Structure 1
Amino acid sequence: MVRLTRVQQQERTRTSVLAAAREEFTEHGYALVKVDRIAERAELTRGAVYSNFPSKRALYLAVLIDMVENAAMGEPATSPTSPAEVLGVFARTWLERLPLVGDTASGGRLHLRSLVGVLDDEHGRTVLAQVVRLEALLLAIALESCEPAQATPVRRVRLAELVLTLLDGSGHLAESAPGFGDPFDLARACEHLSGIDLADTWTPSYLPYVAPARPCGDAWDPPTGLVNQISGGQVDFGADGLIAVLGAGRLAAAEEAVRSARPGEQVTVVVVTNDSAEMGRLVRLRITDLVGCLRRVFAPEAWQRVRLVLDDEALTASAIGLTDLDDETESAVRVQGGAIVARAHGRGAAYAASTADASNGTRPRGATS
């Protein structure tokens, strides 16, 4: 008889729980599912389920992540085209999640990645709102890569937010009124949205008042083994650039890092949370799902200067000296020549770290006293 190692046994237990949970959620829906019934279906104890997933919400999110990560993906795009064309393709790709005619109500909700009734607390909804802001930024960066070079770069965040609002709204409607709406009409509508003048600019009013970064010359011992969620490859932290560490409740600050970075420098947005079982999984679910769609539409070069890391073990935070983490964390460092040359913490940290003159500690460029 072959004896399984502890790690192998844990993985087998986890796989059994996920399979049983998916069947239960498909048959009964999130609200009616009981953890005891999942344990019985998996032929495990209730304690075995909770040792892997501390709550029903954590388990539901894990099931959705497993579905998304194992979904068959089409061939990625080879080159970007016009914003209108790529928005149509993106919309059609996103709309593949709409329930099929033969799906049960519960099965259709699972296929939709529905979070209705799952995020029933203010904190969960707040984090979701921040994640959607990050999703819009990722889509916007890809859309901006399709624009011809201009003296004043085009910002497409408001367009991305509008597109995601339309698509997410169609998903909610499909959940409550199955069969309503034509996916092809929705895709065409997304194409036409690209022609709307939204007067989109990035001019946060608080930037002139951001506290200056602290210049330093600290040794930089970068973490290893972390994955860029956009490309799927491992992150090399050795290059010069800006690293922004953001809690799950401050993800909107990712745009600050992207827009403030110096020309040619790498921007790495690192997401941390003190609740990896639930809020961490929520972020992972939404980002993995969106990136799966984006990869089928845009070439990898669309995000060549931006990397996104979901750091459940806070390895990056530890490397830059952060110990007290929560969902409101907002810190940044600038790395140059293998050393940390500027540090900032609090609102506007990415802007401060990126734009400060690290040699003499002056305020960020453009700041007022």
Structure 2
Amino acid sequence: MVRLTRVQQQARTRAAVLAAAREEFAEHGFVPAKVDRIAERAELTRGAVYSNFPSKRALYLAVLIDLVGKAAEDEPQAVVSPSSRVDALGVFARVWLERLPLVGDSAPGGRLQLRSLDGVFEDEHRPAVLAHLARVEALLLAIALERGAPFRRVRLAELVLTMLDGAGHRAETTPGFGDPFDVAHACRHLAEIDLPDTWAPPHLPYVAPAQACSDAWTIPDGLVDQISGDQVDLTNGLLVVLGANRLGAAEEAVRSAKPGEQVVLAVVTSDPDETGRLVRLRVTDAVGCLRKVFAPDVWQHVRLVLDDDAAVASSIGVTDPGDETESAVSVRGGMIVARSHGRGAGHAAGARRREATS
């Protein structure tokens, strides 16, 4: 008889809970689902479920993350990006719309396939996080559409994502209504709309300058870029740590950097079990769709790290990392050469770096 190690047993228990939970949520939906039934399905105790997932909400998010991850593994990644914005948006829309449930699917199963969060969050905090995550999703799509050109495409990306989210909501409330091919066709033609898109946040001129320094630091290792899947090298570039409620500031950092310079966005939260999983779900889902359409090099210098254990935040001196964190450093040759904290930190550190290298 083969004895399992403790780590192997924990992994097996976790996998059993996830499989049972997916069945329960697909059959009943999030609200009516019962942890006791999940434990029974997995042939485990209620305590075993909660020892792996502290709440039903955390478990539901974990199921969605697992679903999205498996979907990404099963589909080939893009090698060559579409040659035009029109084609790119058409392909992206078709990829996104693959999640729509079929007419004969059960309502709970369809919601699971849609990655629906309806009824999952009832507090005032999570909608704000979702709004910031939507800005990150739009930024990633916009960068791919811009392809290094000096034209901002964030408003176009927001418009496309709004249409697709609307199609998802419609499929959730009235399954079978409308034609997904019409939606994809409409998204293609959104690229032809003349949509003025300037970048001039009114608060940036008033952001305090970053402070020059020459600080040695211990660079965290083993960090994985959620966009490319590659290891992240932090010896040079701009590193910005953003809390879940400050993710909307990601574009400030990206736009402040010199062309070709690396910008690492590290996301931190004070609630890794729920808010952290929510961030991981939305990031993984968005990147999974984007990478089926665009080759990873379209994001050029942008890297995205999920700092679940706040190792990155702590390494640059953030003493109490949480959802409101906004801190940035400029790194050159493995040394921190500028620091900024508070609103506009990414912009300030990027501007300081640009001045120092110009």
Return the TM-score normalized by structure 2.
0.96
Q: CA deviation at 1:77?
A: 3.6
State the secondary structure of the residue aligned to 2:31. Answer: helix
The CA deviation at 1:6 is 1.1
Alpha carbons 1:219, 1:339 under 8 Å: kept: yes
2:176 corresponds to 1:179: yes
The partner residue of 2:297 within 276, 301, 305 is 301
Task: Measure the CA separation in 1 of the matches of 2:260 and 2:249.
Answer: 20
- State the identity %: 71
Q: How far did 1:80 drift?
A: 3.5
In structure 1, what is the equivalent of residue 349 of structure 2? 353
- Superposed, 1:147-296 pairs within 5 Å as 149=149, 153-238=150-235, 240-296=236-292
Tell me how far apart the structure 2 counterparts of residues 114 and 299 of structure 1 sit (CA, whole Å).
27
Pairwise CA distance, 1:255: 0.3
| Cα distance in structure 1, aligned partners of 2:15 and 2:184 | 36
Q: Hey, what's the Cα distance between the residues in 2 that align with 1:89 and 1:250?
A: 30
Are 1:310 and 2:301 matched, yes or no? no
Q: Using the TM superposition, name which of 88-97 and 314-323 deviates more.
A: 314-323
Residues 79 and 175 of structure 1: is their aligned pair in 2 closer, same or farther, counting only changes over 3 Å? closer
Displacement after TM superposition at 1:300 (Å): 1.3
Matched, 1:116 2:118: yes
Deviation (angstroms), 1:233: 1.2
1:26 CA drift (Å): 0.5
Alignment match, 2:68: 68
Q: Specify the code of the residue in structure 2 equivalent to 1:203.
A: A
1:13 Cα offset (Å): 0.7
Cα distance between partner residues in 2 of 1:359 and 1:25: 53
Equivalent residue of 1:172, what SS?
helix
Structure 2 contact 260–300 (Cα < 8 Å) conserved:
no
Structure 2 gaps of 5+ residues are: none
For residues 181 and 286 of structure 1, the distance between their equivalents in structure 2, rounded to whole angstroms, comes to 25
Corresponding residue for residue 48 of structure 2: 48
Contact 1:137 1:157 in 2 (8 A): yes
Q: CA separation in 2, counterparts of 1:107 and 1:263?
A: 45
State the match for 2:33 in structure 1: 33
Counterpart of 2:16 in structure 1 is: 16
Deviation at 1:333, TM superposition (A): 0.2
**Residues 171-207 of structure 1: per-residue CA shift (max 9 Å, x gap):** 0110000001111100010011111122101101111
> Does 2:3 match 1:6?
no
Give the alignment's Cα RMSD to 1 decimal.
1.5
Q: Contact 1:227–1:234 at 8 Å: present in 2 too?
A: yes
The residue that corresponds to 1:105 in the other structure is: 107
The structural deviation recorded for 1:359 is 9.5
Rounded to whole Å, the distance in 2 between the matches of 1:258 and 1:111 is 32
Cα displacement (A) at 1:357: 6.5
Return the letter of the residue paired with 1:292.
Answer: G
The amino acid of 2:270's aligned partner reads N
Q: Is the 8 A contact 2:243 2:267 kept in 1?
A: yes
Contact 1:159/1:194, CA 8 A, preserved across alignment: yes
- Match of 2:241, SS state, is strand
Aligned partners of 1:91, 1:358: CA distance in 2, in Å?
Answer: 36
Structure 1 distance, partners of 2:230, 2:333, is 23
Kindly provide the CA deviation profile for residues 143-178 of structure 1, in whole angstroms up to 9, marking residues without a partner as x.
001x7x5xxx10000110010000011001100000
CA contact (8 A) 2:330 2:353 kept: no
List, as ranges, runs of 4+ consecutive aligned residues in structure 1 with deviation greater than 3 Å. 357-360
Give structure 1 stretches of 5+ with no counterpart. none
SS in 1 for 2:338: strand
| Distance in 2 separating the partners of 1:49 and 1:195 | 50
Q: Secondary structure at the match of 1:309?
A: strand
Matched-pair contact (CA < 8 Å) for 1:58–1:278:
yes
CA drift of 1:74 comes to 2.7
Between the two proteins, the alignment pairs up a number of residues equal to 355
